[in-house]
Amino acid sequence: MIVRFHNGRIALPGGAVEAADLTVTDGVLAAVSDAGGAPADREVDLEGGWLLPGFVDTQVNGGGGVLFNDQVDVAAIAAIGAAHARFGTTAFLPTLISDTPMQIAAALAAVDAAIEQGVPGVVGIHIEGPFINEVKRGIHEAHRIRRLDTEILATLTAPHRGRVMLTLAPELCDEEDIRTLVRHGVIVSAGHSDATYDEAQRAIGAGLTGFTHLFNAMSPLHHRNPGAVGAAFDSDSYCGLIVDDVHLHPAVVRLAVHAKGKDRIMLVTDAMPSVGTDVSEFTLQGKRIAVKDGVCIFEDGTLAGTHLDMASALRKTVEVTGLPVTDVSAMASATPAAFLSLHDRIGSIAPGQRADWVWLDAGLAPRATWIGGGIVSESARDMIQAAQ
């Protein structure tokens, strides 16, 4: 199938072009060529907008009215993925907030089953806690917090179909445990942590490669005590960033991007079940969370994830940094794909990659999403078919 895109900007690895023919075979982009070289099976007028690589989100707690902690099954993962696909997310990690060992095992099994059944977009799982520091727990429940032990290590390091990402407080676990996790393919990230600079650096030496929602719920940067943030800046680690006008001041976003670069900053949503809905509240592990002006907040003022989607995260990042769309697009696709060691399959519009794309209009609002070459938005499918 040849899909011809024109009248816009198509973000290719070598730079943006105004038109191109994308040849898709079995869900994979087989070739990128100049538009008009051969008859196209489908033609899409981008109307002055952008065709970008599909977004890769490593932190998705919920969406479409579903919270992963409440429903650890294939149907829930599919509903969450469908909600976020409307906003351009084509690969994601369902994220389990601090919970019991039994629920962690069930979540891992559910993601394995979802991948086996071909649920669009799911590429693994993010276990965020409960191996965190109580003083930086945020909305996580204190009674869930625990230390890593041999039983849960065995659960996490067992073979799984997708990527397994684990957020922990490195100051509260042994370096050898981090080495064991990494040796078995687990991607270890620091978060909800009060680690000193030295503690975080020792964890990096043991194989930790990421920092979960940088700045939020971690020891801050001080000129005599660099903390976890300082260790993130002073290393080659990948850093998730929540750009929603609430979690971070715009100046901090600019500083982080300047310090780390587009190849190490990953945009994440930390999305809650409200994304893709118009609900004004939801329940998180027994707590009533209000959604006010796009902010998810507990009655005591604690932030509880976000009401953010990836298209909005990209748009806000462009606005506060002034960077080109192509640079910010990399933070939403190529960089998280590299963090997950999936850059050979997803994250760019290039031959050999899965045909995952998002069409944004000139204002960077989502118009359509493709996963494996198929349109996953019903309204977009109807619109594009009618335009043929």
What is the rounded (10 degree) CA torsion for 297, 67, 242, 361?
A: -110
Catalytic residue among 244, 270, 309, 356, which? 270
Instruction: Determine if residue 222 is labeled as part of a ligand binding site.
Output: no
- DSSP-assigned letter for residue 251: H
3-state secondary structure of 305: coil
Q: Is 37 annotated as a binding residue?
A: no
Length in residues, the chain? 388
Rounded Cα–Cα distance for residues 30 and 32 (Å): 7
How do the residues of the chain divide into helix, strand and coil, expressed in percent and rounded to 5? Answer: 30, 30, 40
β-pairing, 9-12 vs 15-17, is: antiparallel
22: helix, coil or strand?
strand
133 annotated ligand binder: no
How far is 21 from 267, CA to CA, in rounded Å?
28
Gap between the Cα atoms of 331 and 78, Å rounded: 24
343 annotated as ligand-binding: no
Q: Whole-angstrom Cα distance, residue 311 to residue 355?
A: 18
Please tell me whether 247 is known to bind a ligand: yes
- Is there a binding annotation on residue 142? no
Residue 150 to residue 102: CA distance in whole angstroms: 14
Token pair of 89, please? 């997310």
Flag whether 319 is marked binding: no
Rounded to whole angstroms, what are the CA distances from 119 to 115, 127, 185? 6, 19, 22
Whether 184 has a binding-site annotation, put simply, is: no
Q: Does the N-terminal peptide bond of residue 130 adopt cis geometry, omega within 30 degrees of 0?
A: yes
**14 known member of a binding site:** no
Is 18 flagged in the annotation as binding?
A: no
Question: Would you call 244 a catalytic residue per the annotation?
Answer: no
User: Is 298 within 8 Å of 289 (Cβ atoms)?
Assistant: yes
Helix spans in the chain (H): 74-85, 101-116, 150-157, 175-183, 197-206, 227-233, 250-260, 310-321, 325-332, 334-339, 378-386
Residues flagged as binding site for Zn(2+): 128, 192, 213
**Binding-site sequence positions:** 128, 139, 192, 213, 216-217, 224, 247, 303-305
**What are the binding residues for substrate?**
139, 216-217, 224, 247, 303-305
Q: Which residues form the catalytic set?
A: 270
